[in-house]
Amino acid sequence: MISDLDKVILIERAVIESVLSYAQMLHPREAILLLKGKVDKQRILVNDTWIPPLATHGNTFSTFPLHMLPMDFSIIGVAHSHPSGALRPSVTDLNKFYGRVMVIVAYPYRSEKNIAIFDREGNRLKYEIV
């Protein structure tokens, strides 16, 4: 079986921009965005973001009711911000993993250097911006 570690992960530039600007806008609160895209044998493509319908400003990723999301297979993961600046998932993040990829954007949210992508085990995945 091919694991996600062997897949090419492609993220559209517009997705990077929206994750960065949404995180800046909500800082110092935590921002959550759903990631939409396509998964096939060789690659995972992230091509759209979506503000979760149930997001309220008090929610953080760790309190967000992921089980209440609509069953939509084009949702391939969740992006959330770390106002603390830590560019790695917490234990709670991994316990709440949803979809195929977890994108973390860390303060100061300036460029893709502040963005990292992880799989369910917490491995950092390489990605390309397209």
93 touches Zn ion (CB under 5 A): yes
CA atoms within a 13 Å half-sphere pointing along the CA-CB vector of 93:
25
Footprint of Zn ion on 67-86 (CB under 5 A): none
Other beta carbons less than 10 A from residue 34's beta carbon: 23
Nearer to Zn ion, 61 or 64 (CB): 61
Question: Which residue minimizes CB distance to Zn ion?
Answer: 93
Of 21-29, 35-43, 54-62, 68-76, the window that binds Zn ion (rule: CB under 5 A) is: 54-62
E strand residue ranges, the chain: 8-11, 32-39, 43-50, 75-82, 101-106, 115-118, 124-125, 127-129
Nearer to Zn ion, 93 or 119 (CB): 93
Shortest distance, position 40 Cβ to Zn ion, whole Å: 28
Residue type, 53: P
Residues found near Zn ion in the complex (CB under 5 A): 61, 93
